[in-house]
Amino acid sequence: MVRGNPRIGLRTRGDGVQAVREHMPTGVQDQQWRSCTPAFAVRLRYSLRHRSPAMPRRDANNRSGQPTGDIECRGAPIPSPRMSTEPVSRLAAPRVAAGAIIVRESSVLLVRPTYKDHWDIPGGYVEIGESPADACRREIREELGITVRDLGFAAVDWAPDRAGDKLLFLFAAPELDGVDVARLRFPDGELAEARYVRLPDLERYTVPRLVRRIRATVRVIDSGGFPIYLENGE
């Protein structure tokens, strides 16, 4: 049974469709497939109808034991000269990270990673299938040896990067506000030190973009206002 999208007439199941999905470049399956345009659907139908009969499917034989001539679902190329993925190349695929803003009066907790030349906030990159909040909890546990449950979403910052765009989710961690640095452990070995740094002194410890990001997020936390959207820390 083949099911499709009745709005654009695009097949979404079946051997041919599976083959096209598996031979798309990385990232196309999830981004382009879910937001397919009618033009893409036309190209897809064309490529499926005009496939080469010379490509047998290894796992599909007729009663005589001969190849059926259907498209091989796994491993064979799909002759689709008119199917273009050019629109997908223009879609952003930002890396996503999450961090915690832990405050004590007019200071914020910074950590010194062993692999960076500046201080940072606790946090790290979001893994596949993980929410930013869960990533923040995991990083706090792995980096500081502390389990935290309650996080408050405070800000998201889009930032350009040499390797591609970034989206950074920043969370308040009220459970940890004022936590004694002496309690902290660095079980994963990625951190060498942690300390509270006064907001006016942040420039001495970290890069300008992070300074702007921290100060903007602290203002939201202190005011109890709505989460904010930032671009490059502003």
CB 201 within 8 A of CB 177: no
Alpha carbons 160 and 156: distance in angstroms, whole number:
13
pLDDT band at 54, cuts 50/70/90?
Answer: very low
Q: Which residue from 115, 226, 125, 123 is spatially nearest to 176, judged by alpha carbons?
A: 123
pTM above 0.75, yes or no: no
pLDDT band at 69, cuts 50/70/90?
Answer: very low
Q: Where are the domains of the chain?
A: 4-86, 95-231
Mean pLDDT of the chain: 77
* pLDDT of amino acid 5: 46
| CA distance to 16, 18, 197, per residue, from 109 (Å) | 54, 49, 6
Q: Which two tokens stand for residue 55?
A: 């490509």
pLDDT band at 2, cuts 50/70/90?
Answer: very low
Alpha carbons 159 and 116: distance in angstroms, whole number:
18
Mean pLDDT of 139-148: 94
Mean pLDDT of 51-69: 46
pLDDT band at 6, cuts 50/70/90?
Answer: very low
E strands, 136-233, in order: 152-159, 166-172, 191-198, 228-231
**95-231 belongs to which homologous superfamily?**
Nucleoside Triphosphate Pyrophosphohydrolase (3.90.79.10)
Q: What is the β-pairing status of strands 95-101 and 123-125?
A: antiparallel
- Mapping DSSP to helix (H, G, I), strand (E, B) and coil, where does residue 234 land? coil
pLDDT band at 35, cuts 50/70/90?
Answer: very low
* Alpha-carbon dihedral sign for residues 32, 33, 34, 40: positive
Q: Which residues of 11-22 are buried (b: 16+ CB within 10 A; e: fewer)?
A: beebbbbebbbe
Q: Which residue from 73, 47, 45 is spatially nearest to 58, judged by alpha carbons?
A: 73
pLDDT band at 162, cuts 50/70/90?
Answer: confident
* pLDDT of amino acid 152: 96
